A and B are shown apart, each in its own frame.
Chain A
């Protein structure tokens, strides 16, 4: 009984982490049809930015809540700046090229940014655990949960809700949906697709950075954290379907629970459970769980 609830809570927390990290990626792919490897860089920059923020507010002795907010804002700001620079500077040059070429461009950019991190923050690790520690723990029955983890789940739920509301009820959200569905038709109806692209990429960047910022207190902020996140985010997005936010949510939940189950029951398969699930899903539904194939017109 303890194991079951442990799996559930661990799974939920891990799912929250995956969702926050994957939502930006699936958004960018859905709208722009770009598989953005630089997403890992957004995450890393967000984490480093957050670490810096934590350093600042800890030294200045702010209250925990304010510090947390500051950390979040720093993450978003980093994402905003990075997103603008990349979109206007590099991405703009390769719109319209083959999908795979664009992926390689984002891969090249990722490599470059990995070393930019070293240039800015140096090769050492950073610790940003203060928010997590100050949040404390809570005991439910036999389980000890970190309050920070609960906040994480809350943030993920909030993001999901926000995304749902924004897509269905705001003007921009509905524009986005039309472009995701059929870019050509949207353009024919006068939608400024270029502007939609730019804004989407920046939002995606901010979400990626937010993921890093929010995770910074839980991990060691060091070189290479972007690398693993990329494949994880890809797996979640592939499972759920590229461009589908519900898909990312469901994908994150499936992977989260499966991984938690593996960790508690069969630790040997923990690392590749996510890729196994991804391979399995792709075999049955090559476009992911929530996306239909588009038939080719002759």
Chain B
């Protein structure tokens, strides 16, 4: 899928390239949420890492003049990852609603700090310098395509790595932890340690997504850490379902498409549209779009001779 998307890019209109870039940047955050969701955990504060990644990129460019996109994205991921390692010690001790609420609180703390920080532009935020790519400094359409390919590249690497993770002991323990955490402990595994790893993975992915988004949008502001941003990511996770790595990307695309469509067609009522879509998905497709795809595929296989 990624190769196809990469190849198709030059043929697509600018707004599609832009939309897909944003969607795939957000997809990384969603992938992180999927990692947590499989273990039965929902983070209502993933925007924290998204925001950290974005601001890390913006601040690095602003303070050091360094604009290489590859390096900036890595910095975003690392910054968010370090925070996740620290927070993870705390967060890994909680489950269910309390995990969700604590993660929410932490993201809102960052929001509060950013809003009150005048030097960072307060609620307005500030703009991100134009990225360069190992010395190459594209403009306009070429810039859009470069960012697009960068995002696809990061996504592809992430997808492969996470796929490997899901097949490992730590990844496969997600369902057992959700089912019967105590038995997992009795088998000799530290559940806290496994969850800590998941928090860190989700944090890194969130940071990478935020970094890419910052470059693509060209602007950062405290709203990136607001709970409604986290809510949006959770929304997509539900839409996509936790069934597969691909689900995160498909779900993000669908979400961005629906959001753009809603904005264009009924700008005043886009929230209602989104809300209705979410509600209908939960009621009729509780395992997300991913399960729909899986169901269709199974029916196709059953029909084949």
- A and B in contact, CB less than 8 Å: yes
Residues of A within 8 A of B (CB): 35, 90, 93-94, 97, 99-101, 103-105, 107-116, 118-119, 123, 227, 230-231, 234-235, 238, 242, 267-273, 275-276, 278-279, 282-283, 286-287, 296, 298
Q: Are A107 and B278 in contact (CB under 8 A)?
A: yes
Chain B positions within 8 Å of A238 at CB level: 101, 105
A270 to B97, CA, bound (A): 26
B108 in contact (CB, < 8 A): yes
Chain A positions within 8 Å of B106 at CB level: 275, 279
Q: Are B282 and A282 in contact (CB under 8 A)?
A: no
Q: Are A271 and B272 in contact (CB under 8 A)?
A: no
Q: Are B111 and A116 in contact (CB under 8 A)?
A: no
A77 to B167, CA, bound (A): 55
B65 to chain A, nearest CB (A): 28
Interface size class of B (residues with CB under 8 A): 35 or more
B57 in contact (CB, < 8 A): no
A22 to chain B, nearest CB (A): 14
A100 to B231, CA, bound (A): 12
Given that A227-B228, A275-B108, A296-B182 are contacting pairs, would A287 and B98 also be in contact in the complex, using a CB cutoff of 8 Å?
Answer: yes
A102 to chain B, nearest CB (A): 9
Q: Are A271 and B275 in contact (CB under 8 A)?
A: no
Contact check: which of A93, A113, A235 meets B105 at CB < 8 Å? A235
B5 in contact (CB, < 8 A): no
A40 to B261, CA, bound (A): 26
- Which of B22-30, B112-120, B241-249 forms contacts with chain A? B112-120
B90 in contact (CB, < 8 A): yes
Chain B positions within 8 Å of A270 at CB level: 112, 116
Q: Are B272 and A116 in contact (CB under 8 A)?
A: yes
Q: Are A272 and B90 in contact (CB under 8 A)?
A: no
4 A-B pairs with the lowest CB-CB distances in the bound complex, closest first: A272-B112, A111-B275, A271-B112, A115-B272
**Would you mind naming 16 contact pairs between A and B with Cβ atoms under 8 Å apart?**
A90-B279, A104-B235, A104-B238, A107-B278, A108-B274, A109-B275, A114-B275, A115-B268, A242-B97, A269-B112, A272-B108, A272-B112, A275-B105, A278-B101, A278-B105, A286-B98
18 new A-B contacts, CB < 8 A, other than A35-B97, A269-B116, A271-B113, are: A93-B283, A101-B286, A104-B282, A108-B278, A108-B282, A111-B271, A111-B272, A111-B278, A116-B272, A231-B108, A268-B116, A270-B116, A271-B115, A272-B110, A279-B106, A279-B109, A282-B102, A286-B102
B278 to chain A, nearest CB (A): 4
Chain B positions within 8 Å of A101 at CB level: 282, 286
Chain B positions within 8 Å of A99 at CB level: 96-97
Main secondary structure of the interface of B (DSSP, over half): helix
Contact check: which of A108, A227, A275 meets B109 at CB < 8 Å? A275
Q: Are B105 and A271 in contact (CB under 8 A)?
A: no
Chain B positions within 8 Å of A286 at CB level: 93-94, 98, 102
Chain A positions within 8 Å of B108 at CB level: 231, 272, 275
Please report which residues of chain B, range 73-111, place their CB below 8 angstroms from some CB of chain A when the two chains form the complex: 90, 93-94, 96-98, 100-102, 104-106, 108-111
Contact check: which of B94, B100, B109, B231 meets A272 at CB < 8 Å? B109
A20 to chain B, nearest CB (A): 21
B172 in contact (CB, < 8 A): no
Query: Which one of B101, B113, B235 has the greatest number of beta carbons of chain A within 10 Å?
Result: B101
Q: Which residue of B lies closest to A101 (CB)?
A: B282
Chain A positions within 8 Å of B270 at CB level: 115
A111 to B262, CA, bound (A): 13
B106 to chain A, nearest CB (A): 6
Given that A94-B283, A114-B271, A118-B269 are contacting pairs, would A279 and B105 also be in contact in the complex, using a CB cutoff of 8 Å?
Answer: yes
Q: Are A112 and B276 in contact (CB under 8 A)?
A: yes
B227 in contact (CB, < 8 A): yes
Chain A positions within 8 Å of B115 at CB level: 271
Query: Which one of B182, B238, B275 has the greatest number of beta carbons of chain A within 10 Å?
Result: B275
Please report which residues of chain B, range 264-296, place their CB below 8 angstroms from some CB of chain A when the two chains form the complex: 268-272, 274-276, 278-279, 282-283, 286
Q: Are B97 and A114 in contact (CB under 8 A)?
A: no
Chain A positions within 8 Å of B104 at CB level: 231, 234
A97 to B104, CA, bound (A): 22
